[in-house]
């Protein structure tokens, strides 16, 4: 009888794509259908540890499986991803959740196949974590779940060691994929009918910085954008310390590259940026925005911001607000600083109290929402091109996104998923747009 699988994913786009690879591995060894958790023969948790609440979320969901595992003792429970990769975390998980069958890390997902096969033969739990990243594995066939969008890794890991961030510790040093592997993957995705490609890396701008690829990011972007066919091309994340004019020039050259850059600023205060080890100043950041908007006036920028970093004063916080207003971001992901064990910032002796953090995040969210709403309203009356992604059952409408990532809803008689459609926007509601096909 066919076996079923269920994957629970936490964290970033990169992890979502990693889960698609995990699904590919599961299919290969006989788990054919993705089902609900209750019906699954194997459940895989692909975890994240970027902030404490990401971990708590996973802890809660894993803990909730205790009863089900008792009822279905043959069900395999596997936990992997960034959290298991943290020092000492597998011991914590083992103690808290003795019913976990398999633990693997973010750096050895290719091993999952053999770990599960072994587990099927033995009762004992299996824990296998790799300390250092190995060679890039190219032969995992992902089961993609986000048609017409597809994610394509260009780098793995990170060398930046921003003082608050755990990623370099759990994802290892930066490795770049060979250009021919990236280009061939994109070519076959386009041939299969995918319409939007997102190139993924923690810092895409340092692609090939170790000299292993014969190409830098701008050259790679140019090569990928030169692939024939109608598709949209995105890339994330850009790092302000490495974002260069030649990337803007490649964007100018190819209309298929979306005029949207995700450029996390983290803070608007120079002293905080320095303590964060971001290696750029507020002035440099603003000059990059100006460069982008001068050369591509329609360009939009999205960002990530942390409030409540150790030592952040009210003045520092106000500098962030000021920068947000100046840049007028299309949208911003805002986070309260969360100390991560082993990082430099977690050991700083000037941590900010929770009440101040809460108060600042509330003010910032309000500002960001206001700017986003104002931007949405400017859409009303305009005609935009939407790539239709899905049918929203609740609304009874199709939904898609414009090149700036704005969600647009509309009615259609025929199935539009995977098509580019032109919408005249008649209403804006928060971050969502409503339109009519023209
Ligand atoms: N590589 C990307 C993003 C990585 S994580 C970059 O350099 O920007 C995504 C976002 O999570 C970060 O941009 C940051 O805003 C946030 N983040 C990372 N560590 C955090 C921490 N310890 N507390 C709160 N937010 C954090
Ligand atoms: Fe973390 Fe900084 Fe690397 Fe981004 S660039 S993953 S924030 S260390
Ligand atoms: Fe991503 Fe979370 Fe890991 S943000 S890289 S899944 S720690």
Residue-wise pLDDT tens digits, 229-276: 999 999 999 999 999 999 999 999 999 999 999 999 999 999 999 999
Which pLDDT belongs to residue 19? 98
Which pLDDT belongs to residue 45? 98
Q: Say if residues 426 and 437 touch (Cβ distance below 8 Å).
A: no
Q: Say if residues 214 and 179 touch (Cβ distance below 8 Å).
A: yes
Ligand 3 centre to CA of 196 (Å) is: 22
Look over the chain and give the mean of its residue pLDDT values, rounded to a whole number: 97
Start-end of H helices in 167-313:
167-171, 179-192, 217-225, 245-253, 270-275, 282-295
Q: Say if residues 92 and 100 touch (Cβ distance below 8 Å).
A: no
pLDDT band at 431 (very low <50, low <70, confident <90, very high): confident
Which pLDDT belongs to residue 39? 96
Instruction: Give the dihedral of Cα atoms 153, 154, 157, 158; nearest 10 deg.
Output: -130
Other beta carbons within 10 Å of 255: 12
Which pLDDT belongs to residue 98? 97
Q: Say if residues 332 and 303 touch (Cβ distance below 8 Å).
A: yes
- Pocket residues for ligand 1 (CB within 6 Å)? 50-51, 164-165, 167, 202-203, 237, 239, 264, 266, 304, 306, 335, 337-338, 340
Q: Which two tokens stand for residue 414?
A: 């025929």
Which pLDDT belongs to residue 430? 82
Proportion of the chain above pLDDT 70, given as a percent: 100
Q: How far out from the chain centre does Cα 231 lie? A: 20
pLDDT band at 213 (very low <50, low <70, confident <90, very high): very high
Given the CA of residue 339, which atom of ligand 1 is nearest to it? 22
Which pLDDT belongs to residue 346? 98
Given the CA of residue 168, which atom of ligand 2 is nearest to it? 8
Q: Is the pLDDT of residue 1 over 90?
A: no
Q: Is 358 helix (H, G, I), strand (E, B) or coil?
A: helix
Which pLDDT belongs to residue 128? 98
Q: Say if residues 410 and 434 touch (Cβ distance below 8 Å).
A: yes
Q: What is the mean pLDDT of residues 306-324?
A: 98
Q: Is the pLDDT of residue 116 over 90?
A: yes
What pairs with residue 152 in β-bridges? 199
pLDDT band at 2 (very low <50, low <70, confident <90, very high): confident
- Specify the pTM: 0.97
- Determine if ligand 3 sits within 6 Å of the CB of residue 158: no
Which pLDDT belongs to residue 42? 98
What is the enclosing helix (H) or strand (E) of 84? helix 82-85
- Least Cα distance to 261 among 278, 279, 244 occurs for 244
Q: Is the pLDDT of residue 177 over 90?
A: yes
- Determine if ligand 3 sits within 6 Å of the CB of residue 236: no
Q: CA distances (Å), 48 to each of 86, 167, 232, 328, 387, in order?
A: 10, 10, 28, 30, 29
For 345-378, what is each residue's pLDDT tens digit?
A: 999 999 999 999 999 999 999 999 999 999 999 9
pLDDT band at 154 (very low <50, low <70, confident <90, very high): very high
């Amino acid at each position: 009888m066919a076996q079923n699988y269920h994957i629970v994913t936490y964290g970033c786009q990169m992890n979502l794509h990693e889960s698609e690879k995990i699904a590919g591995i599961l299919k290969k060894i006989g788990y054919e259908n993705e089902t609900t958790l209750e019906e699954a023969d194997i459940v895989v948790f692909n975890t994240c540890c970027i902030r404490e609440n990401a971990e708590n979320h996973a802890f809660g969901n894993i803990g909730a499986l205790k009863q089900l595992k008792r009822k279905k003792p043959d069900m395999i429970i596997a936990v992997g991803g960034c959290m298991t990769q943290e020092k000492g975390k597998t011991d914590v998980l083992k103690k808290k959740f003795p019913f976990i069958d398999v633990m693997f890390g973010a750096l050895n997902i290719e091993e999952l196949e053999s770990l599960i096969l072994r587990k099927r033969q033995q009762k004992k739990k299996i824990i296998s974590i790799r300390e250092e990243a190995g060679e890039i594995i190219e032969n995992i066939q992902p089961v993609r779940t986000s048609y017409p969008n597809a994610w394509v890794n260009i780098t793995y890991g990170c060398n930046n060691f921003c003082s608050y961030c755990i990623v370099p510790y759990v994802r290892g040093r930066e490795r770049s994929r060979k250009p021919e592997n990236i280009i061939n993957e994109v070519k076959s995705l386009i041939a299969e009918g995918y319409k939007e490609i997102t190139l993924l890396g923690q810092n895409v701008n340092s692609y090939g910085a170790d000299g292993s690829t014969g190409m830098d990011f701008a050259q790679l972007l140019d090569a990928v954008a030169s692939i024939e066919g109608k598709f949209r091309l995105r890339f994330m994340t850009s790092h302000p310390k490495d974002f260069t004019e030649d990337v803007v020039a490649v964007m100018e050259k190819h209309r298929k590259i979306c005029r949207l850059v995700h450029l996390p600023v983290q803070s608007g205060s120079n002293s905080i940026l320095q303590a964060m080890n971001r290696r750029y100043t507020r002035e440099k950041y603003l000059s990059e925005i100006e460069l982008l908007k001068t050369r591509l006036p329609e360009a939009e920028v999205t960002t990530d911001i942390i409030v409540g970093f150790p030592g952040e004063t009210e003045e520092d916080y106000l500098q962030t607000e000021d920068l947000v207003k100046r840049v007028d971001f299309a949208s911003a992901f805002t986070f309260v600083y969360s100390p991560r064990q082993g990082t430099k910032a977690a050991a700083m002796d000037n941590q900010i109290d929770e009440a101040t953090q809460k108060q600042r995040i509330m003010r910032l969210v309000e500002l960001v929402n206001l700017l986003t709403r104002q931007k949405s309203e400017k859409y009303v009356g305009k005609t935009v091109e939407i790539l239709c992604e899905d049918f929203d059952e609740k609304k009874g409408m199709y939904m898609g996104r414009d090149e700036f990532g704005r969600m647009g809803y509309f009615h259609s008689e025929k199935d539009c998923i995977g098509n580019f459609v032109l919408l005249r926007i008649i209403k804006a509601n928060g971050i969502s747009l409503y339109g009519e096909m023209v």
